[in-house]
């Protein structure tokens, strides 16, 4: 396949879901089975993605295929030079891997939804929304510039809003949709400012052009501080979209949407868009920006993990675990573990989608019961769901032989190395602590749901294993959560080609003295756009590689011990009931309440930001009513006085003249109105006479 063909394929993958969306939306009410078309379109897009990932990785593993066109050409603007806004497609290893994940999960969710959403009154519209979501996510993945990224970013926000609030008759669902939309806007504001900062400095939105200009030493406002600020502003978008620490509050509420949607959007793809954004802009992040990102990631990994310990809603637990895992990825990027973070993004997408779809299967079987305290013993009723759920839980806890172990261990190992190189041990500490917590709450969830005796006998009686179209995606995702797809050695992910040759460390473009020490090149002044050096992925000095090498065994051992410990505690508490949980809870009541009430984030926001906004609005209303209206009324009074005088002039002089004109016109009209009878035939007679006269004249 040639490069233009690859671009065409990418465009086809991009626009197929849009076609599906339009057709499904327009025909949704008329044709009951139009959803089959949408599913077919997604299967087609997935087939395209498979072809693409295969071709790209086998034949063009080291080159980036781009295609761009000038969208708006402003010509030669004074002071700015030649400005044009280009749109384009970038097909590199990262984007093809991402597109594979997106289309695969989208396809599985489509298939899963056929059974899950059966009987819904807006069935076809649901599929249409899935289509536009897939379209916008594909757009984010393939974009080669900031502007398109932003456009599709907002489109993703829109489709997420539509899908979260899909059951908008429920107040909580429509509120959750609004909350997600508004909270995302806060982050997007930062991102937009960052993009505009970049545009004012570089007059282009294209990643590669921005990077090469930074590499040439051209910084925003000629200051390294502003480069840091730009990076952090762009990261704000990721904070919103990936539900990172201060803005994470929307994600748990977003669980009001249908469960397959949660799997698609709030586990695997949309929230991954934030991480993908950081991956894209990684080369321009300075060490300060990276440190900021790492801190945000660390907080997002830790706080939701503690909240997840006590939640009873099956989807809420998964939601908090998602934030926590995203925090891992963001922290990983912050501490420079670029490859592992992206790797974790892929593996997490699979097993988290599996967890959500599994929970969807449970919820469906339990007739929309989501409270795990009312479940239990489902293992016997739903063996496939149980087995796949178990695999996913092992993966997220980081047990060997699963994909989660590989990626998570990579991040932990990097945090270990980061600690030893920079002295910031806090990241390693929190990382390992969260690993323990994760293992605990995941197995608490698993045990309460599937083990033990049923606590709600009635619902248990009616529970049943899901149909083929729901079980099939579970099995596929469970298979993808096994290590073998990523590396032949279950203890060393670096041996698999995904990390050794597909994902490459990017070439940093930031000035040397704004990097971490270990990120400085060994050879000074190697800032080039040379393809060869980019392809080899030179990013770190030898020191870092050594540190990673040293950290491998201790990190591995420690994470294994902690994960097993977490699982063991979960079993002690909930399976064997050796410790009375209620007593435990009572002894640490304040801590338990803190966790159970989600650290009071919503309450704090209500009391501060929301209240402040309301206060500000009230003040503005008051300002509007007194000051602005006062000015307006004053102006009105003055105008009234002026008008009186002008009115007199009008009445006497102007009107006199006008009336005279009207009188004359009326007099003339009186004569000519006789010709206007309104009868067609009179007109024709007149025409004939006129014609005769004309013929006489021009004979």
Partner 1 sequence: MNVYDLIFYLFAAITILSAFFVVTTRNIVYSAYYLLFTFFGVAGIYVLLGADFIAMVQLIVYVGGILILLLFGVMLTNKITNVDIKSGTIHTVPATIGVALFAGIILASMWNTNWKNVNSDMQVASTQHLGFLLIHQYALVFELLGILLLIALIGAASMARK
Partner 2 sequence: MIHVGLNHFLVVSTILFSLGILGIVSRKNAVMVLMGIELILNSANINFIAFAKFGNFGFQGQIMALFVIILAAAEAAIALAIVLNIYKTFSTVNVDEIDTLKD
For partner 2, the binding residues (CB under 8 A) are: 676-681, 684-685, 688
Residues 156, 101: Cα–Cα separation, whole Å: 16
Contact partner at residue 676 from partner 1, partner 2, none, CB < 5 to 8 Å by partner kind: partner 2
Would you give the distance in Å from CA 173 to the centre of its chain? 19
Largest CA distance in the chain: 122
CB of 693 to partner 2, least distance (A): 16
CB of 691 to partner 1, least distance (A): 7
431 HSE (CA, 13 A, CB side):
34
> What is each CA distance from 487 to 119, 342, 475, in whole angstroms?
42, 15, 20
Angle made by CA atoms 573, 579, 584, in degrees to the nearest 5? 95
- Pinpoint the alpha helices (H) of 60-121: 93-116
CB of 697 to partner 2, least distance (A): 20
Q: Does 578 bind partner 1 (CB under 8 A)?
A: no
Neighbours of 75 (CB within 10 A): 7
Residues 40, 35: Cα–Cα separation, whole Å: 8
Closest CB to partner 1 among 77 and 684? Answer: 684
3-state secondary structure of 286: coil
Kindly indicate which of the ranges 110-118, 453-461, 623-631, 687-695 contains the residues binding partner 1, using the contact rule CB under 8 A: 687-695
Q: Which two tokens stand for residue 608?
A: 């501060």
Contact partner at residue 699 from partner 2, partner 1, none, CB < 5 to 8 Å by partner kind: partner 1
Residues 301, 187: Cα–Cα separation, whole Å: 18
CB of 659 to partner 2, least distance (A): 24
Closest CB to partner 2 among 668 and 680? Answer: 680
Closest CB to partner 1 among 40 and 689? Answer: 689
Contact partner at residue 695 from partner 2, partner 1, none, CB < 5 to 8 Å by partner kind: partner 1
Closest CB to partner 2 among 525 and 681? Answer: 681
The residue within the footprint of partner 1, chosen from 40, 59, 622, 689 (CB under 8 A), is: 689
Residues 350, 269: Cα–Cα separation, whole Å: 10
Q: Which two tokens stand for residue 317?
A: 């637990």
Smallest CA-to-CA distance from 140 within 26, 275, 256, 7 is with: 275
Would you give the distance in Å from CA 239 to the centre of its chain? 10
Q: Does 685 bind partner 1 (CB under 8 A)?
A: yes
Smallest CA-to-CA distance from 452 within 594, 577, 623 is with: 577
Residues 424, 518: Cα–Cα separation, whole Å: 13
CB 235 within 8 A of CB 293: yes
CB of 699 to partner 1, least distance (A): 7
Kindly indicate which of the ranges 163-171, 194-202, 385-393, 691-699 contains the residues binding partner 1, using the contact rule CB under 8 A: 691-699
Q: Which two tokens stand for residue 428?
A: 């390693």
Kindly indicate which of the ranges 290-298, 468-476, 615-623, 686-694 contains the residues binding partner 1, using the contact rule CB under 8 A: 686-694
CB of 55 to partner 1, least distance (A): 48
Q: Does 696 bind partner 1 (CB under 8 A)?
A: yes
Residues 488, 504: Cα–Cα separation, whole Å: 19
Contact partner at residue 182 from partner 1, partner 2, none, CB < 5 to 8 Å by partner kind: none
Closest CB to partner 1 among 662 and 687? Answer: 687
Closest CB to partner 2 among 653 and 685? Answer: 685
Closest CB to partner 1 among 523 and 680? Answer: 680
Burial state string for 2-27 with b = 16 or more CB within 10 A and e = fewer than 16: eeeebbebbeebbebbbbbbebbbee
Closest CB to partner 1 among 557 and 690? Answer: 690
Contact partner at residue 692 from partner 2, partner 1, none, CB < 5 to 8 Å by partner kind: partner 1
Contact partner at residue 568 from partner 2, partner 1, none, CB < 5 to 8 Å by partner kind: none
CB of 674 to partner 2, least distance (A): 11
Closest CB to partner 2 among 373 and 676? Answer: 676
- Pinpoint the alpha helices (H) of 117-145: 123-142
Residues 486, 483: Cα–Cα separation, whole Å: 6
Segment 655 to 684, residues that bind partner 1, using CB under 8 A: 681-682
Contact partner at residue 660 from partner 1, partner 2, none, CB < 5 to 8 Å by partner kind: none
Contact partner at residue 665 from partner 1, partner 2, none, CB < 5 to 8 Å by partner kind: none
Smallest CA-to-CA distance from 227 within 519, 525, 506, 512 is with: 512
Q: Does 688 bind partner 1 (CB under 8 A)?
A: yes
CB of 675 to partner 1, least distance (A): 13
CB of 70 to partner 2, least distance (A): 49
Closest CB to partner 2 among 619 and 683? Answer: 683
Q: Does 54 bind partner 1 (CB under 8 A)?
A: no
Contact partner at residue 677 from partner 2, partner 1, none, CB < 5 to 8 Å by partner kind: partner 2
Closest CB to partner 1 among 676 and 682? Answer: 682
Would the CA dihedral through 25, 28, 34, 39 be positive or negative? Answer: positive
Contact partner at residue 678 from partner 1, partner 2, none, CB < 5 to 8 Å by partner kind: partner 2
Closest CB to partner 1 among 609 and 684? Answer: 684
Closest CB to partner 1 among 611 and 692? Answer: 692
313 phi and psi angles, rounded to 5 deg: -85, 125
3-state secondary structure of 367: coil
CB of 681 to partner 1, least distance (A): 6
Kindly indicate which of the ranges 160-168, 203-211, 627-635, 689-697 contains the residues binding partner 1, using the contact rule CB under 8 A: 689-697
Closest CB to partner 2 among 425 and 683? Answer: 683
Contact partner at residue 680 from partner 1, partner 2, none, CB < 5 to 8 Å by partner kind: partner 2
The residue within the footprint of partner 1, chosen from 532, 640, 695, 697 (CB under 8 A), is: 695
Q: Which two tokens stand for residue 83?
A: 């400005």
CB 234 within 8 A of CB 191: yes
Segment 456 to 475, residues that bind partner 1, using CB under 8 A: none
Residues 230, 628: Cα–Cα separation, whole Å: 37
Residues 403, 350: Cα–Cα separation, whole Å: 9
- The residues near 659 (Cβ < 8 Å, ≥ 6 apart) are none
Point out which residues bind partner 1 (CB under 8 A). 681-682, 685, 688-689, 691-692, 695-696, 699
């Amino acid at each position: 396949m040639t490069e233009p063909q690859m671009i065409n394929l990418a465009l086809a993958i991009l626009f197929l879901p849009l076609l599906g969306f339009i057709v499904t939306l327009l025909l949704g009410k008329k044709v009951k089975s139009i959803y089959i078309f949408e599913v077919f379109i997604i299967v087609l897009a997935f087939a395209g993605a498979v072809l693409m990932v295969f071709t790209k990785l086998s034949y063009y593993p080291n080159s980036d295929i781009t295609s761009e066109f000038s969208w708006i050409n402003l010509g030669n603007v004074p002071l700015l030079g030649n400005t044009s806004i280009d749109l384009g497609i970038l097909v590199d290893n990262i984007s093809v891997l991402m597109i594979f994940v997106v289309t695969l999960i989208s396809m599985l969710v489509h298939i899963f939804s056929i059974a899950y959403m059966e009987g819904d009154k807006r069935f076809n519209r649901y599929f249409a929304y899935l289509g536009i979501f897939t379209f916008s996510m594909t757009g984010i993945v393939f974009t080669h510039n900031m502007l398109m990224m932003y456009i599709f970013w907002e489109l993703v926000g829109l489709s997420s809003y539509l899908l979260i609030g899909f059951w908008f008759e429920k107040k909580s669902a429509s509120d959750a949709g609004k909350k997600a939309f508004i909270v995302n806007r806060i982050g997007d504001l930062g991102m937009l400012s960052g993009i505009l900062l970049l545009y004012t400095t570089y007059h282009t939105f294209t990643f590669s052009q921005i990077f090469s200009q930074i590499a040439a030493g051209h910084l925003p406002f000629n200051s390294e501080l502003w480069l840091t600020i730009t990076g952090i502003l762009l990261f704000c978008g990721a904070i919103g979209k990936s539900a990172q620490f201060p803005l994470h509050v929307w994600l748990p509420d977003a669980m009001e949407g249908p469960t397959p949607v949660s799997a698609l959007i709030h586990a695997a793809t949309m929230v991954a868009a934030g991480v993908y954004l950081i991956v894209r802009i990684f080369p321009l992040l300075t060490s300060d920006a990276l440190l900021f990102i790492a801190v945000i990631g660390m907080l997002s990994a830790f706080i939701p993990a503690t909240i997840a310990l006590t939640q009873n809603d099956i989807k809420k637990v998964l939601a908090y675990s998602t934030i926590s895992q995203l925090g891992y990825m963001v922290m990983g990027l912050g501490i420079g573990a670029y490859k592992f973070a992206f790797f974790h993004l892929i593996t997490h997408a699979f097993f988290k989608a599996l967890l959500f779809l599994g929970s969807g299967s449970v919820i469906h079987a339990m007739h929309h019961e989501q409270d795990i305290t009312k479940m239990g013993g489902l293992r016997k009723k739903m063996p496939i769901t149980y087995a796949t759920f178990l695999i996913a839980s092992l993966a997220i806890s980081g047990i060997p032989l699963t994909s989660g172990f590989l990626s998570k261990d990579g991040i932990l190992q990097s945090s270990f190395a980061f600690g030893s190189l920079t002295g910031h041990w806090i990241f390693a500490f929190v990382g390992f602590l969260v690993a323990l917590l994760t293992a605990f709450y995941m197995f608490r969830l698993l045990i309460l749901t599937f083990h033990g005796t049923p606590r709600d006998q009635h619902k248990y009686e009616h529970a049943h294993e899901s149909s083929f179209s729901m079980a099939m995606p579970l099995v596929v995702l469970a298979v993808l959560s096994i290590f073998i797809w990523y590396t032949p050695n279950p203890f060393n992910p670096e041996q698999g080609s995904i990390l050794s040759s597909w994902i490459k460390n990017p070439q940093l473009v930031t000035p040397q003295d704004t990097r971490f020490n270990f990120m400085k090149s060994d050879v000074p002044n190697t800032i080039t756009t040379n393809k060869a050096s980019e392809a080899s992925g030179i990013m770190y000095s030898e020191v870092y590689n050594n540190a990673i090498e040293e950290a491998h065994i201790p990190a591995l051992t420690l994470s294994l011990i902690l994960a097993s410990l977490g699982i063991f505690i979960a079993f002690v508490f909930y399976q064997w009931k050796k410790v009375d949980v209620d007593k435990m809870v009572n002894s640490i009541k304040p801590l338990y309440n803190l966790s159970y009430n989600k650290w009071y984030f919503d309450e704090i926001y209500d009391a501060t930001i929301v209240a402040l906004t309301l206060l500000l609005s009230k003040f503005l209303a008051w300002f509007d009513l007194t000051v602005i209206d006062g000015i307006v009324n004053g102006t009105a009074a003055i105008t009234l006085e002026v008008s009186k005088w002008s009115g007199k002039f009008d009445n006497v002089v102007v009107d006199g003249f006008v009336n005279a004109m009207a009188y004359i016109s009326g007099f003339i009209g009186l004569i000519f109105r006789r010709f206007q009878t309104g009868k067609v035939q009179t007109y024709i007679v007149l025409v004939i006479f006129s014609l005769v006269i004309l013929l006489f004249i021009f004979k």
